[in-house]
Amino acid sequence: MSVDQQTGTIRISDDVVSTIAGLAALETSGIAGMSGGISEGLAKRLSGKNVQKGVSVEVGQVEAAIDLRVIIHYGMKIQDVCRSLQENVKEAVENMTGLTVVEVNVKVEGVAFKEEEIEEAVPRIK
């Protein structure tokens, strides 16, 4: 995004929009983490410094489209979590950048189980 004004130009990097969207996604209830996609290991959880992983954006002069790849906590209603995720990301990006978010596409790539559930479901090989 680039806006020309009398006092100069304001530019917002795609990386900034990606970071805002990633942080808003991780703050959404029901989201266990972001997924790096198949090329980085299906449903590999990423957080902290890697908030841009699992997020791709297309930013124009005044609009943005955002694609998210996420991992949902087991037991949550996927449709409700994704709807909430779309609203949270749209609001965060619009409030912080002034861009109009035209779409937030969500791809659920995995389900996260609690550690104890994983151990019960998958017995360890000794």
The C-alpha angle 113, 115, 108, rounded to 5 degrees, equals: 25
**CA distances (Å), origin 5, targets 1, 2, 9, 10:** 13, 10, 6, 8
Per-residue pLDDT tens digits of the chain, which is 126 residues long: 666 667 887 888 899 999 999 999 999 999 999 987 554 444 444 444 455 688 999 998 889 999 999 999 999 999 999 999 999 999 999 999 999 999 999 999 999 987 644 444 445 555
Domains along the chain?
2-121 (3.30.70.1350)
